[in-house]
Amino acid sequence: MSKYWNELTKKIEPYVAGEQPKDKKYIKLNTNENPYPPSPKVLKAISDANNSDLRLYPDPDCDKLRETVANYYDLNKNQVFVGNGSDEVLAFSFLTFFSSDKEIVYPDISYSFYPVYAGLYGLKARLSALKEDFSIDVEDFLKENGGVVIPNPNAPTGKYLDIKAIKRILEFNNENVVIIDEAYVDFGGESVVGLIKDYPNLLVIQTLSKSRALAGMRIGLALGREELIDGLNRIKNSFNSYTSDRIAQVAAVAAFEDDEYFKICSNKIIKTREKVTKRLTEIGFKVIPSKANFIFASHSKMLAKDIFIKLREKGVLVRYFNKPKIDNYLRISIGSKEEMDTFLEKVEEII
Amino acid sequence: MSKYWNELTKKIEPYVAGEQPKDKKYIKLNTNENPYPPSPKVLKAISDANNSDLRLYPDPDCDKLRETVANYYDLNKNQVFVGNGSDEVLAFSFLTFFSSDKEIVYPDISYSFYPVYAGLYGLKARLSALKEDFSIDVEDFLKENGGVVIPNPNAPTGKYLDIKAIKRILEFNNENVVIIDEAYVDFGGESVVGLIKDYPNLLVIQTLSKSRALAGMRIGLALGREELIDGLNRIKNSFNSYTSDRIAQVAAVAAFEDDEYFKICSNKIIKTREKVTKRLTEIGFKVIPSKANFIFASHSKMLAKDIFIKLREKGVLVRYFNKPKIDNYLRISIGSKEEMDTFLEKVEEII
């Protein structure tokens, strides 16, 4: 605490990111990174951009990247917003569309950055309790509110909400912005980007950190009607004109251009996820059906916390949340086949 | 305007960055970029980091970079904060230390992002009018306030405030944070980093976009007592845990490590600045004495706006601010010797 901090700084509770340990080499299954490297075309694009032009500011509008993404999703470039990771895009979205006079709604078990943004901007939030099976209670989003945020698939559960349910939510909330956070949509879910043409209140948020294996380069996207993207640009340009650097922009373009590589890697991860789910179930785990690059699992005989600690000792990091309702679950990122074989081996030793 | 925007989004006036034209090739003297490329060691470091690790999140704490900067300035690493360009660092600083209940103070002619941050966070600001010769009126900063922001050298004037004056301001404002924005300090000014040990209220902000030729990579720094840096981290971690990507971090480390190259380039720019100042004075310009990598100049016979337009037609971009008090001045970035020879040639044709 310092007398130089303002009241907000004193009272805010910052987000705590998954551990990035520096003490020794772990099998890292705790931050949902992609086990496969970025496309070789991404590395080539970075290499080509590594030149004296780095002395110049990047394109603040990210035109080439926005055109590439627009083309990929059959949008126009004014329906695409680029940020420094999807966390920044979410931070801007909360600030652009939500106000302190009306409660926003998101699931009680969800991405733990949402309540932090609400705290940062002094927003009131209503938490919608997940049902017993961790599915989202759609009815809770069909009540008066000042904005909706739903990750789909949800994190850390991996549960997917079907498009029909999302349409109902979009229809009811036609006066408010509905954010669908699709950080994990490429692992078996279906994006709602196609609904943008029908719903002016829909803002889809995506990241290149997971399915496109570029967590290290910080690129996030918002997709929606031009009026929503215009609003985001107003706030972004009141905060930092150049949020995406030269290398990040070319890397992202190349990642979207190499669709084949992206699909191959995503499919490998889906296959590994199904295999690991099956094996964990066989040895007494309850595994929530996942459409993400992680699974959420609980064991009938041993506490999640104990498994977490023992796995750590054996050099495997997974994520444990010491929070009501989910404190007996582990979130396990899907690594490579070899990593997951080692993980299963260690788990079997522990159980 | 959209019904989905909140009141802030509707009323905010975003910052307008210097033009990054895409229509044709200009001699760009409008955004204070460095005419020399980044150090060859920076390009080598980027090349080395361009590998499969880009799939992994960057170090959210930027440890290696903070250690490097701390070592360079004889600080400890907990006195160093890293952001996505100094604009982001400024945006976080306003949000961490200033409140709506007390007016902050900055010069009326200054970096035009400050009023935008004030608008973004609902802060009240008192503008201190520059004196006739564009120098800062120190007395204005020795009156009750809620925080101080001074760019040194000032932009767009290039005027430098000596350390004695800054000490007086720091002493008077011992209950408030005093931000000294040193974006341009490496071109002949003296940094106040050395005062951090004596003044717990001093926050120094620097950028790698100008003297270190890395505008394209977005790296900004805040330097100050640990309690100030802790506050910045609280706000940053409530907004985006990973603001600096893997490539930016290694590039910045290499830039600080190659001090010789940095000094050679900065000295070349200073020499060119002095030469251009002399020549412009000879042909009837009034040039404000500059300690930055730009000069601020006005002609006795021809309107700045007209010179700006004619230079643009001749393929040379400079910056013109259509604002009271400075609407007859041009801000001219110092390019390479060759660029400045062309610039002088075109100016002489116009005058």
Model confidence at B44: pLDDT above 90: yes
pLDDT recorded at residue B25:
85
Residues of A in contact with B245 (CB under 8 A): 216-218, 245, 247-248
Probe site for chain A from B199, B239, B266, B269 (most A CB atoms < 10 A):
B239
β strands within chain B, DSSP E: 27-28, 80-83, 104-107, 125-128, 148-151, 178-181, 202-207, 220-224, 285-287, 294-299, 316-317, 319-320, 330-333
| For B54, nearest residue in chain A (alpha carbons) | A216
pLDDT recorded at residue B18:
76
Ramachandran quadrant class, B74 (left: phi over 0; alpha: psi -120 to 50; beta: rest)? left
- Determine, for residues B55 and A214 on separate chains, whether the beta-carbon distance falls below 8 Å: yes
- Determine, for residues A246 and B216 on separate chains, whether the beta-carbon distance falls below 8 Å: yes
pLDDT single digits (tens) A243-267: 999 999 999 999 999 999 999 999 9
Choose among A121, A176, A118, A111: nearest CA to A145: A176
Q: How far apart are CA A196 and CA A140, in angstroms?
A: 23
In degrees and rounded to multiples of 5, residue B339 shows phi and psi of -60, -40
pLDDT recorded at residue A207:
98
Using CB atoms, which residue from B15, B37, B248 is nearest to A55? Answer: B37
pLDDT recorded at residue A25:
85
Q: A300 to chain B nearest CA, in Å? A: 32
pLDDT single digits (tens) B50-106: 999 999 999 999 999 999 999 999 999 999 999 999 999 999 999 999 999 999 999
Q: Which of residues 2-21 of A touch B (CB under 8 A)?
A: 2-9, 12-17, 20
β strands within chain A, DSSP E: 27-28, 80-83, 104-107, 125-128, 148-151, 178-181, 202-207, 220-224, 285-287, 294-299, 316-317, 319-320, 330-333
Using CB atoms, which residue from A9, A57, A84 is nearest to B243? Answer: A84
Residues of B in contact with A111 (CB under 8 A): none
Start-to-end C-alpha separation, chain B: 43
pLDDT single digits (tens) A319-342: 999 999 999 999 999 999 999 999
Beta bridge partners of A179: A149, A203
Over residues B332-351, the mean pLDDT reads 97
pLDDT single digits (tens) B273-308: 999 999 999 999 999 999 999 999 999 999 999 999
Q: B218 touching A, CB under 8 A?
A: yes
- Determine, for residues A231 and B22 on separate chains, whether the beta-carbon distance falls below 8 Å: no
Asked if B132 and B113 touch (Cβ cutoff 8 Å), the reply is no
Q: Show contacts of B264-272: CB within 8 Å, 24+ apart.
A: B265/B34, B265/B36, B265/B211, B265/B213, B266/B186, B266/B187, B266/B211, B268/B36, B268/B337, B269/B34, B269/B35, B269/B36, B269/B187, B269/B293, B269/B334, B270/B187, B270/B188, B272/B334, B272/B335, B272/B336, B272/B337, B272/B340
Asked if A273 and A160 touch (Cβ cutoff 8 Å), the reply is no
- Determine, for residues B34 and A55 on separate chains, whether the beta-carbon distance falls below 8 Å: yes
Q: A29 touching B, CB under 8 A?
A: no
Dihedral sign of CA atoms A127, A132, A134, A136 in order: negative
pLDDT recorded at residue A17:
82
Q: A92 to chain B nearest CA, in Å? A: 9
Contacts of A262 (CB under 8 A, 6+ apart): A39, A186, A211, A212, A255
pLDDT recorded at residue B24:
74
Beta bridge partners of A106: A127
- Determine, for residues B34 and A15 on separate chains, whether the beta-carbon distance falls below 8 Å: no
Report DSSP state, residue B283: T
Q: A35 touching B, CB under 8 A?
A: yes
pLDDT recorded at residue A347:
97
Q: How far apart are CA A121 and CA A147, in angstroms?
A: 14
Q: How far apart are CA A31 and CA A28, in angstroms?
A: 7
Asked if A217 and A42 touch (Cβ cutoff 8 Å), the reply is no
pLDDT recorded at residue A115:
97
Ramachandran quadrant class, B120 (left: phi over 0; alpha: psi -120 to 50; beta: rest)? alpha
Q: B28 to chain A nearest CA, in Å? A: 10
Q: B55 touching A, CB under 8 A?
A: yes
Torsion on CA atoms B128, B201, B122, B6, rounded to nearest 10: 140
Model confidence at A271: pLDDT above 90: yes
Model confidence at B22: pLDDT above 90: no
Model confidence at A20: pLDDT above 80: no
Residues of A in contact with B231 (CB under 8 A): 2, 4-5, 9
Q: A34 touching B, CB under 8 A?
A: yes
SS3 A23: coil
pLDDT recorded at residue B48:
98
β strands within A51-165, DSSP E: 80-83, 104-107, 125-128, 148-151
Dihedral sign of CA atoms B37, B43, B45, B49 in order: positive
Using CB atoms, which residue from B59, B99, B234 is nearest to A12? Answer: B234
Length of chain A: 351
Q: B119 to chain A nearest CA, in Å? A: 8
Model confidence at B20: pLDDT above 80: no
- Determine, for residues B57 and A245 on separate chains, whether the beta-carbon distance falls below 8 Å: no
In degrees and rounded to multiples of 5, residue A158 shows phi and psi of 80, 0
Q: B57 touching A, CB under 8 A?
A: yes
Q: How far apart are CA B263 and CA A30, in angstroms?
A: 43
Structure tokens at A272: 């590994």
Model confidence at B19: pLDDT above 80: no
Q: Which of residues 156-175 of A touch B (CB under 8 A)?
A: 175
- Determine, for residues B234 and A9 on separate chains, whether the beta-carbon distance falls below 8 Å: yes
Q: How far apart are CA A72 and CA B302, in angstroms?
A: 51
Q: A57 touching B, CB under 8 A?
A: yes
SS3 B83: strand
Asked if B229 and B222 touch (Cβ cutoff 8 Å), the reply is yes
What are the structural domains of chain A? 7-37+260-350 (3.90.1150.10), 40-258 (3.40.640.10)
Report DSSP state, residue B109: S
Structure tokens at B259: 């001090």
Rounded mean pLDDT of chain B?
97
Model confidence at A22: pLDDT above 80: no
Q: B112 touching A, CB under 8 A?
A: no
- Determine, for residues B117 and A238 on separate chains, whether the beta-carbon distance falls below 8 Å: yes
Start-to-end C-alpha separation, chain A: 43
| For B177, nearest residue in chain A (alpha carbons) | A4
Using CB atoms, which residue from B33, B43, B234 is nearest to A50? Answer: B43
Contacts of B61 (CB under 8 A, 6+ apart): none
Using CB atoms, which residue from B98, B119, B227 is nearest to A238? Answer: B119
pLDDT recorded at residue A23:
72
Q: A38 touching B, CB under 8 A?
A: yes
Q: Which of residues 224-253 of B touch A (CB under 8 A)?
A: 227-228, 230-231, 233-248, 251
pLDDT single digits (tens) A54-64: 999 999 999 99
Residue with tokens 């040379």: B316
Residues of B in contact with A35 (CB under 8 A): 55
pLDDT single digits (tens) B228-260: 999 999 999 999 999 999 999 999 999 999 999
Q: At what angle do helices A246-257 and A259-282 cross, to 10 degrees?
A: 80
Residues of A in contact with B319 (CB under 8 A): none
pLDDT single digits (tens) A211-234: 999 999 999 999 999 999 999 999
Q: A229 to chain B nearest CA, in Å? A: 10
pLDDT single digits (tens) A125-153: 999 999 999 999 999 999 999 999 999 99
Element at A18 (helix H, strand E):
none
pLDDT-derived band at B150, boundaries 50, 70, 90: very high
- Determine, for residues A238 and B120 on separate chains, whether the beta-carbon distance falls below 8 Å: yes
User: How much is the ipTM here?
Assistant: 0.96
Residues of B in contact with A38 (CB under 8 A): 52, 54-55
Q: How far apart are CA A266 and CA B334, in angstroms?
A: 49
